[in-house]
Amino acid sequence: MLNVKNVNVYYGGIHALKGVDIVVNKGEIVSIIGSNGAGKSTLLNTISGIIKPKEGEITYKDEKLNLSPHKIVAKGICQVPEGRLVFANLTVKDNLLLGAYLRKDKKEIEEDLQKVFDIFPRLLEREKQFAGTLSGGEQQMLAIGRALMGRPEIVLLDEPSLGLAPLLVDTIFNIILDLKRMGNTILLVEQNAFKALQISDRAYVLEQGKITLEGDAKEIASNPKVQEAYLGKKIS
């Protein structure tokens, strides 16, 4: 579905992404793991159209994705940003409805709103609360729900477990698996490499702007260098 080919991104004189190639197939969970500053969020922002690459191309269903961000959303790619970025002064329901801002199908929007509440019953309980009053875990659920209101085919998840308590981390990763079962394709950027590799089909390791390793998630997880660098295991 998604093909990133030889993408190079610069921030001024900093070469942030260096000839990055990744492929995401329909129905997969694909993880990008790497340390802080490796370029993971830059990659998602480039796919979303927020950042324009200096070189390379991104194609979605064999169509070049050289579009503005809102047109990329309309094509079926929605991003859940790092830090959630919910609209704190709007209610939970209004935040969700903003996720459907490009859609005109009012009946289907209402149906999708109910589906989001089915996935996240906590959001239904807090539907009239201001988003800024929610806990971190609830805001993450809201950010995911808001993306789902755009009816995406690919969901880009940027650090969904960041800052969450361990129990909530498990909840979020179970939700990601549920999204896959519902037919969504997921590109996941996550510092919790252990959890990410557990639920992923395939994975890429991004280091200093370059893809240094790719393959089946289980193979990546068993790689000694990955274990030592990202999984907290000391290899003798």
Cα-based torsion angle of the residue sequence 124, 130, 132, 137 in order, rounded to the nearest 10 degrees: 0
> What is d(CA 69, CA 61) in angstroms, rounded to the nearest whole number?
17
Give yes or no: residues 70 and 172 share one domain. yes
Q: Please give the pLDDT value at position 185.
A: 98
Q: Is 215 a domain residue? A: yes
Give yes or no: residues 217 and 169 share one domain. yes
Q: Please give the pLDDT value at position 231.
A: 79
Q: Please give the pLDDT value at position 230.
A: 87
Domain boundary among 132, 151, 170: 151
Number of domains in the chain: 2
Give yes or no: residues 134 and 163 share one domain. no
* Residue spans of the chain under pLDDT 70: 233-236
Domain boundary among 151, 166, 195: 151
Q: Which residues pair with 30 in a beta bridge?
A: 187, 202
Amino acid sitting at position 190: E
For residue 98, how many C-alpha atoms fall within 13 Å in the half-sphere facing its CB? 15
Question: Which phi and psi (to 5°) does residue 132 adopt?
Answer: -65, -15
Which residues have CB under 8 Å from 107's CB, separation 6+?
none
Give yes or no: residues 159 and 232 share one domain. yes
Domain boundary among 114, 131, 151: 151
Domain containing residue 124? 87-151
Give yes or no: residues 164 and 134 share one domain. no
